[in-house]
Amino acid sequence: MTTDPAEQLQHLYETELRPVFEELEAERQALLQRLLISGLIALAATGLLVLLVLRWGFEISFFVIVAGITIWWIVNGGRVQRYRANFKNHVVGRLVRFFNATMRYEPNSGISQAEFSASEIFRQRIDRYSHEDLITGTIGATAFRFSEVHAEYKTESTDSKGRRRTTWHTIFKGIFYIADFNKHFNGRTIVQPDVAQSLLGGLGQMLQGVGRKLSFSGDELVKLEDPEFEKLFVVYSTDQIEARYILSTSLMQRLTQFRKTMGVDVSLSFVNSKINLAIATRKNLFEPPHLWQSTRLQLSDLQEYLQDIKLAEDVVNELNLNLRIWTKA
Amino acid sequence: MELIFCIVGLAVVAGVALLLLYNSLIGKKNAVDQAFSSIDVMLKKRYDLIPNLIATVEQYMTHERDLLTELTQLRTRALSGDISPDARVTTENQLSGVLGRVMVAVENYPDLKASQNFLQLQGSLNEIEEQISAARRAYNAAVTDLNNAIEMAPTNIIAGMMNLQKRQLFVASEVERQNVDVRSLFRSNQ
């Protein structure tokens, strides 16, 4: 057995995943055929029905078209889901174990709403919450879990005709990552992307302090000495000293670097001796190639999935969470 | 009549503004004092660890008796009540220096380095050092906040009337800066 990761991946591909890919490809082809044939039948049937009912009015034929599409999806939706589940279980699950034998992948689990709320990064009321693609494991001394998360709240408005309209707003969509932190602490420290200060400078910082005092959360604005970090983030904490104990000068640098590599908004909180990261990626992780995409799965695709799995390790290493020189084991 | 209302209104507004500014200055001054006393708390925690450290290392470190004696003396001096603030700071810095040297000297005793007792103690010491550094940074932030208020308009006027003085920032002392040069410490041990 070779120790070169690229060769190991090649080996895994040749011995285990190639047959799986072929099966998945066969499943995809069959599914496509089914979708096309049933689609044509549905189209013909709906067309005929529309012609028959058209004389009773346009609204009824509209109803028939909607019914046709719905029935077509009811017949086929399950199959599409199964194809997706097969891909996730057999390919992504295997890749996660390949990456690190201690890691586990559960496509239908995720960071629970309770955990999400307990992080206190987002304080809005949550009306709809969904999660998928949970990865758990331990790297060195650090236990972690992360998944995709989508939290939303709704607003309801009534227009002039008295119709109620519900609008959904995203609170957070992306990867939510929870890891054991390497220092003990009792309070709560929250690090958020800084909007006010990057736009308004010192005035923005003043407004943040006033705003926090008015929100009665018991948190104070923490002004830190790293100018680059301060430009990217704003920090609130229940304890000025503890916030600095957690956000050591080196962790501030590491977070700045991490934020720059990720290229998207990153919010963090430190609660109950845990670090929570909310990374607002737009990408939907670990999805099979699109059904209509004709190219077959290849070794290079695996590299991309592995890149996403590697985030598990990146957070622990880049934030140096395995440095255990303090009293916490 | 209207003029009187205007004047009274202005006076009330000015009074409230004055009160707010005054309170914010007092708040900042107290934040500095509080931050300073928390450094003190952390430093006291460090004194508490020193007897444990000496008890653990002394049976191994036969060649560094002087170093350990110095550590004990410094601790006693720092803990004695009748010490001036300036002398306290000097003692504190010397203590940091000697502690650093003890930790480097431990490298020469593999048995000691591997002992569970020592590892635990080292963890506690690292923890305390990290806490002290956090407390100092918090103090510096509070002082900067107060100094800014004392120098910037409009609080500078009230600060002048209150006779508030600018405070000094914590800077790494000469001893601490020298400590960073670990190689020279190794050389002195040879």
Contact between A162 and A143 (Cβ < 8 Å) = no
Q: How far is A198 from chain B (nearest CA, A)?
A: 20
Q: How far is A326 from chain B (nearest CA, A)?
A: 4
pLDDT digits (tens, 9 = 90+) for B80-106: 877 777 788 788 888 888 888 888 888
Residue B103 at interface with chain A, using a CB cutoff of 8 Å: no
* Interface touch A245/B35, C-beta < 8 Å: no
Q: What is the per-residue DSSP string for A238-258?
A: S-HHHHHHHS-HHHHHHHHHH
pLDDT score recorded for residue B185 = 46
Interface A-B: count of C-beta contacts within 8 A? 45
Task: Give me B66's structure tokens.
Answer: 């002087």
pLDDT digits (tens, 9 = 90+) for A259-281: 999 999 999 999 999 999 999 99
Q: Is the pLDDT of residue A23 over 60?
A: yes
Residue A175: pLDDT band with limits 50, 70, 90: very high
* B123 vs A242, A245, A327: nearest CB: A327
**Which residue of A183, A225, A241 is the best one to mutate when testing the B interface, meaning the one whose CB has the most B CBs within 10 A?**
A241
**Which residue of A182, A189, A220, A245 is the best one to mutate when testing the B interface, meaning the one whose CB has the most B CBs within 10 A?**
A245
Contacts of residue B26, defined as CB under 8 A and 6 or more positions apart, other chains included, come to none
Most confident region among A85-89, A143-147, A299-303, B159-163 by mean pLDDT: A143-147
Nearest CA to A140 among A316, A328, A311?
A316
Q: Is the pLDDT of residue A216 over 80?
A: no
* A244 vs B120, B134, B145: nearest CB: B134
Q: Which residues of B touch A244 (CB under 8 A)?
A: 133-135, 137-138, 141
Helix (H) or strand (E) holding B25: helix B2-57
Q: Give helix B155-162 / helix B2-57 axis angle, nearest 10°.
A: 70
Q: Is the pLDDT of residue B41 over 70?
A: yes
Angle at B24 between CA B22 and CA B29, to 5 degrees: 95
Any idea which residue has 């044509």 for tokens?
Answer: A40
* Interface touch B133/A240, C-beta < 8 Å: no
* Interface touch A327/B131, C-beta < 8 Å: no
Q: Which residues of A touch B142 (CB under 8 A)?
A: 240
Q: How far is B27 from chain A (nearest CA, A)?
A: 13
Nearest CA to A242 among B38, B47, B49?
B38
**Which residue of B130, B136, B151 is the best one to mutate when testing the A interface, meaning the one whose CB has the most A CBs within 10 A?**
B130
Q: Is the pLDDT of residue A215 over 70?
A: no
pLDDT: which is higher, A57 or A180: A180
- How far does Cα A94 stand from its chain's mean position? 20
CA pseudo-torsion sign A285, A290, A293, A297: positive
Contacts of residue A170, defined as CB under 8 A and 6 or more positions apart, other chains included, come to A150, A151, A152
> E strands along chain A, which residues?
104-106, 128-139, 142-158, 164-180, 188-193, 220-222, 233-237, 266-271, 274-279
Please give the share of chain A, as a percent, with pLDDT higher than 90. 47
Phi, psi dihedrals of residue A180, rounded to the nearest 5°: -70, 130
pLDDT: which is higher, B147 or A325: B147
Q: Which residues of A touch B133 (CB under 8 A)?
A: 244, 248
* A325 vs B123, B133, B144: nearest CB: B123
**What value does the mean pLDDT of chain B take?**
84
Residue of B nearest to A239 (CA): B138
Q: How far apart are CA B102 and CA A72, in angstroms?
A: 77
Contact between B28 and B114 (Cβ < 8 Å) = no
Any idea which residue has 């009792």 for tokens?
Answer: A186
Provide the ipTM: 0.76
pLDDT digits (tens, 9 = 90+) for B132-175: 989 999 999 999 999 999 999 888 888 888 888 888 887 765 55
* Interface touch B122/A325, C-beta < 8 Å: yes
pLDDT score recorded for residue A213 = 62
* Interface touch A325/B135, C-beta < 8 Å: no
Residue B156 at interface with chain A, using a CB cutoff of 8 Å: no
Contact between A198 and A225 (Cβ < 8 Å) = no
pLDDT score recorded for residue B180 = 47
pLDDT score recorded for residue A222 = 92
The shares of helix, strand and coil residues in chain A, as percent rounded to the nearest 5, are 50, 25, 25
Q: How far apart are CA B6 and CA A251, in angstroms?
A: 55
Helix (H) or strand (E) holding A303: helix A299-309
pLDDT: which is higher, A297 or B20: B20
Q: How far apart are CA A53 and CA A51, in angstroms?
A: 6
* Mean pLDDT, residues A4-16 taken together: 85
Q: How far is B118 from chain A (nearest CA, A)?
A: 12
Task: Give me A107's structure tokens.
Answer: 């496509």
**What value does the mean pLDDT of chain A take?**
88
Phi, psi dihedrals of residue A171, rounded to the nearest 5°: -85, -50
pTM of the entire predicted model: 0.82
Report the DSSP beta bridge partners of residue B23: none
Q: How far apart are CA B63 and CA B69, in angstroms?
A: 12
Residue B142 at interface with chain A, using a CB cutoff of 8 Å: yes
Contact between A60 and A53 (Cβ < 8 Å) = yes
Helix (H) or strand (E) holding B11: helix B2-57
* Interface touch A325/B35, C-beta < 8 Å: no
Q: Is the pLDDT of residue B190 over 50?
A: no
How far, CA to CA in Å, does B90 sit from each of A232, B86, B97, B139? 38, 6, 11, 18
Instruction: Map residue A279 onto helix, strand or coil.
Output: strand
Report the DSSP beta bridge partners of residue A271: A188, A274
Q: Which residues of A touch B137 (CB under 8 A)?
A: 224-225, 244
Residue of B nearest to A329 (CA): B123
* B131 vs A223, A225, A245: nearest CB: A245
Q: Is the pLDDT of residue A15 over 60?
A: yes
